[in-house]
Amino acid sequence: MDRAAFLDHVSTLTTALDTWQDGWGTTEPDSTLQVPPERVASVLNTLSGRLTENYPYGHPRYAGQMLKPPHAVAVLAYLTAMHINPNNHALDGGMATSRMEREVVAALANMFGYGETHLGHLTGGGTIANLEALWIARALHPGKSIAVSDQAHYTHARACELLGVPLVSIASDSRGKMDVDALSAALSTGEIGTVVATAGTTGLGAVDPIHEIVSLARAAGARVHVDAAYGGFFILLARATPSPIEAAPFLAIAESDSVVVDPHKHGLQPYGCGSVLFRDPSVGRFYVHDSPYTYFTSDELHLGEISLECSRAGAAAAALWATLECVPLASEDGLGAILNKARGAAVRWAALIEESAQLRLVTQPELDILNFYAIPNDGGHVKASQIGQMTDHIFRSLMEDPDDPVYLAKLVVQREQLAGRDPSIEWDIPSMPVLRSVLMKPEHLDWVPRLHAAVEGAIARFDH
């Protein structure tokens, strides 16, 4: 949606405001709420100036962290709902948006294959969503440990510390996936109650072998929670024919006990919009609590009765609902088409890197995250510290280019992750930074040659 179309749609917002006021009866705002128009204009102009300090997240030249603006439809829907400012805790705090939340949660559950008998809600983000899932894991297997890959998001270690649950770290293989042999050995102790599998690690974008993990965990009497905060929506590509990604891990999410996905990543939503889903709705019994002044307006289940969070923005539910009405959860079109371009960008850039004399992949990309590093042009053996120096130079050189800046990120990799894949590296340090790129915008597909050329230019400047 271009700027002109966006501004045209803003007029719809004005119409909505008039409709609400006509329906509720107009009242003049209290005098204490009034701010002189010139003051508002001055403050907003200052705000606009201060916001230029941010990197250009919406532009394809930004290929660094997991940051991009939400879809224009989500922005407009959020703006529309926030004028009411509903709270999706109790139904009387947000009747319409609570129903929208149930609809989008049902759509997400269907996407993962949970069917109609599920329990779930939106959250402020993946952190609180994973915390809830592990809280339920503790309740179902008190005294038992939670197993996570050493490549899993750090939020799981924090959550286990908060919950007082022992954490067992499972080794990963050279591709960044959970090692199923290491998991099998850990499960044989009988001490693990839940295994956390990751569908899209935030470092390498690796997808754990969820189909194998589910089988191993079930045989050991353990539950499986899938942290799909980043990569969950790629299940749409797993359902495509043919699938451009390995489908089995994603399709196995249907057999997991719980799953987390963040619509504020690939779901085109503003922060914060996460979600947690449980396959068995009976876990709702662990949420039971007393409140002396809420939940009396309806006999229906209030979302606050199945959530650790209390106040939550109803506008987030409205934004996601409107977005999915316009960009559906479909494999061939809708959101699937966007994800296919993002994945295609990573594959295209990986091919260019493999053709380069000075660039090497850390591992082949599974989703839309790419990790690579540069080596000196004289070839032969190279010290890890030298690669680290080149990484730092390229990173800063690209970002500080006054005419055509490019923004990448960095990832610290351990010796064990690369030693077997690249024997030419002399490990004089235990770990080193490499370049990392998250290509989550569909525009990145066409920008890959330009991004690659910029990296090669930065290497040339380093060598000279």
Domain presence at residue 162: yes
Residue 132 has a pLDDT of 96
Domain match, 292 and 424 both: no
Question: In whole angstroms, what is the distance from residue 67 CA to residue 169 CA?
Answer: 28
What DSSP assignment string belongs to 166-189? -EEEEPB-TTS-B-HHHHHHHHTT
Domain presence at residue 338: yes
Domain match, 108 and 236 both: yes
Domain presence at residue 368: yes
Last residue of some domain: 273, 300, 326? Answer: 326
Domain presence at residue 95: yes
Per-residue pLDDT of the chain (464 residues; tens, 9 = 90+): 677 777 777 777 777 777 766 777 767 778 888 999 999 999 999 999 999 999 999 999 999 999 999 999 999 999 999 988 998 877 778 889 999 999 999 999 999 999 888 999 999 999 999 999 999 999 999 999 999 999 999 999 999 999 999 999 999 998 999 999 999 999 999 999 999 999 999 999 999 999 999 999 999 999 999 999 999 999 999 999 999 999 999 999 999 999 999 999 999 999 999 999 999 989 988 887 666 656 566 666 677 777 888 888 899 999 999 999 999 999 888 999 999 999 999 999 999 999 999 999 999 999 999 999 999 876 678 999 999 999 999 999 999 999 999 999 999 999 988 988 899 999 999 999 999 999 999 999 999 999 999 999 999 888 65
Domain presence at residue 288: yes
Domain match, 255 and 115 both: yes
The pair of structure tokens assigned to 386 is 């030298």
Domain match, 366 and 317 both: no
Domain total of the chain? 2
Domain match, 212 and 256 both: yes
Taking a C-beta distance cutoff of 8 angstroms, is the pair 120, 167 a contact?
A: no
Residue 327 has a pLDDT of 97
Last residue of some domain: 326, 358, 382? Answer: 326
Residue 87 has a pLDDT of 85
Question: Residue 402: what residue type?
Answer: P
Taking a C-beta distance cutoff of 8 angstroms, is the pair 395, 401 a contact?
A: no
Residue 295 has a pLDDT of 59
Residue in 343, 344, 370 with CA at minimum distance from that of residue 359:
370
Contacts of 42 (CB under 8 A, 6+ apart): none
H or E element that contains 107: helix 95-112
Domain match, 313 and 177 both: yes
* DSSP-H helix ranges across 227-292: 235-238, 248-251
453: how many CB neighbours lie within 10 A of its CB? 13
Domain presence at residue 83: no
What is the domain range of residue 434? 334-463
**DSSP letter, residue 210:** H
Taking a C-beta distance cutoff of 8 angstroms, is the pair 170, 221 a contact?
A: no
Last residue of some domain: 277, 296, 326? Answer: 326
Domain match, 314 and 398 both: no
The pair of structure tokens assigned to 283 is 């876990």
Domain match, 98 and 126 both: yes
What predicted TM-score, i.e. pTM, was given to this entire model?
0.93
- Could you tell me the CATH number of the domain that includes residue 401? 3.90.1150.170
Strand ranges in 357-441 using DSSP code E only, listed in sequence order: 359-361, 369-374, 382-383, 409-414, 425-426, 431-438
Helix axes 95-112, 314-326, angle to 10 degrees: 50
Q: Is 114 helix (H, G, I), strand (E, B) or coil?
A: coil
Domain presence at residue 382: yes
